[in-house]
Amino acid sequence: MNTFFGMIPSILMIVSPILITAVGGMICEKSGVVNIALEGLMGVGACAAAAAHVLMEAAGVGLPSIWISLAIGALIGVAFSVIHAFASISLNANQTISGTGINLLADGATIFAAQILFSADRTREFRMGMQTDSLGIYPTAYIALVVVVLAWFMLYKLPFGMHLRACGEHPHAADSVGINVKRIRYIAVLISGLLAGLAGGCIVLTQTIQYTSNTINGRGFIALAAVSFGRWRPVGVTFAAFLFGTAQAFAIIANNFPALKALPTEVFNILPYIITLIALVGFSGRNYAPQANGKVYVKGAS
């Protein structure tokens, strides 16, 4: 057991970005827009944060560099999510196609940027990433906690959240009482971009020393799975992110446990996906997703 408690900081390190992204994805879907571009948005955020940090480190910015880089990652996430918002909200585009496009685009854009900035297919290595506190926990864990609590408060306590959820359940009802559905959906998509970008930055600054095409490696999709598995509710999504993140962590740290050594690490990698599939089969027939999720909203046509 001792070893397990020793693993908690590592688990939190891995869970945090997944949770942050999943909360963004949840907010986005609660407003009625499916965002399968989370993976790509994490990628651009991670790449931007890594690149910004390397450059600022070289310029001698010092300690604030980490935080500025995180902010830049988040902003780049927002910038790319604008594409998704514009396509799926303003132009009634198919949300799955638009999300797929952004994922492909992010693959190219990140490495292209690295090629231009560093003449390599990855960003240059930075010397010092984010530092842990006295408990060995990265600040990203606290960021994730704040994000979850704020999201819950916003969705269930503030008028804005009540409007946002109405847009995802019955946009025509929201529209008929004067709520601007498109505006709210824009905000929701941009929030998901912000959080995914931020989470990308968190990954790159805590778990590695540079951005490569393998940095995100499906964690955006795990976050997407966490949204479904968590039944589109903050508590559920948090639980799902912890479960999936822990499974991911075990893929890395299973070697510390003699009992688990015999298992191929891939087993842990697969777990989140399998669990989600089984859960979705179990949910069969009952619909937990927001009713208007993924559907184009055309004013007047009801």
Partner 1 sequence: MLKTERRGSFMGRMLASEGAVSVLVVLLGFLVGTILVALVGKNPLNMYKAILQALSGYNIDNGKMNVRYIGETLNYAVPFILCGLSMAFAARAGLFNIGGEGQYIVGLTVAQMVALLGPQIPVFHWVLALAGATVIGALWGGLVGVLKAKFEVSEVVSTIMLNYVALYVSRMVCLRLPGATTYKTANFPESALLTNGFFQSITNGSMLNHGFFLMLAAVVIYWFIMEKTNLGFGLRATGFNRETARCSGIPVVKSIAVSMAIAGAFAGLAGGIVALGSFRYGRVLSGMDNYGFNGIAVALVGNSTALGTMLAGLLFGMLKNAQALMQGKQIPKEITFIIQGLIVVFIALRSAIAMYLDWRSKRQLQREVLGK
Partner 2 sequence: MSHAIEMSGITKTFPGVVANDNITLEVADGEVHALLGENGAGKSTLMSILFGAYTADSGIIRIHGTQVDIKDPNVATELGIGMVHQHFKLVHNYTVTENIVLGMEPRTRFGTVDLKAAEKQVAQLSKLYGLEVDPQARVENITVGAQQRVEILKTLYRNARIIIFDEPTAVLTPQEIDELMQILRRLTAEGKTIVLITHKLKEIKAVADRCTVLRRGKAVGTVEVASVTEQQLAEMMVGRAVQFELEKPATSIGEVVLAVRGLSVADSTGALKVKDFSVEVHRGEIVGIAGVDGNGQTELLYGLTGLSPVLAGTIMLNGVDITHASIRKRIELGLGHIPEDRQKHGLVSEFTISENCVLKDYYKAPYSNRYGLLDHRRMDVDASQLIEQFDIRAGQGSGTTAGSLSGGNQQKTVVAREINLSPSVLLVAQPTRGLDVGAIEYIRRRILDERGKGRAILLVSFELDEIMNLCDRIATISKGTLVGIFKQGEVDEREIGMMMAGSRRQREAQDVEN
Binding site for partner 2 (CB under 8 A): 157-159, 162-163, 165-166, 169-170, 172-179, 285, 291, 299-300, 302
Report the Cα 288 to chain-centroid distance in Å: 20
Alpha carbon separation from 95 to 34, 86, 100, 227 (Å, rounded):
6, 11, 8, 17
Interacting residues with partner 1 between 252 and 271 (CB under 8 A): 264, 266-267, 269-270
Binding mask 84-103 for partner 1 (x = CB under 8 A): ---xx--xxxx-xxx-xxxx
Residue 202, Cβ density class (10 Å: 0-12 exposed, 13-18 middle, ≥19 buried): buried
**Is the distance from CB of 198 to CB of 33 less than 8 angstroms?**
no
Binding mask 29-48 for partner 1 (x = CB under 8 A): -----x-x------------
By the rule CB under 8 A, 177 interacts with partner 1: no
Residue 96's binding partner among partner 2, partner 1, none (Cβ under 5 to 8 angstroms by kind) is partner 1
Q: Which residue do the tokens 């604030």 mark?
A: 64
Total residues binding partner 1 (CB under 8 A): 49
Alpha carbon separation from 233 to 92, 157, 194, 274 (Å, rounded):
26, 14, 19, 20
Interacting residues with partner 1 between 96 and 155 (CB under 8 A): 96-98, 100-109, 111-112, 115-116, 121
Residue 168, Cβ density class (10 Å: 0-12 exposed, 13-18 middle, ≥19 buried): buried
Selected range binding partner 1 among 54-62, 163-171, 242-250, 280-288, rule: CB under 8 A: 280-288
**Is the distance from CB of 260 to CB of 254 less than 8 angstroms?**
yes
By the rule CB under 8 A, 180 interacts with partner 1: no
- 7, 47, 16, 19: which is closest to 252 by C-alpha? 7
Residues of this chain that bind partner 1 (CB under 8 A): 34, 36, 83, 87-88, 91-94, 96-98, 100-109, 111-112, 115-116, 121, 213-214, 217-218, 221, 224-225, 228, 264, 266-267, 269-270, 273-274, 276-277, 280-281, 284-285, 296
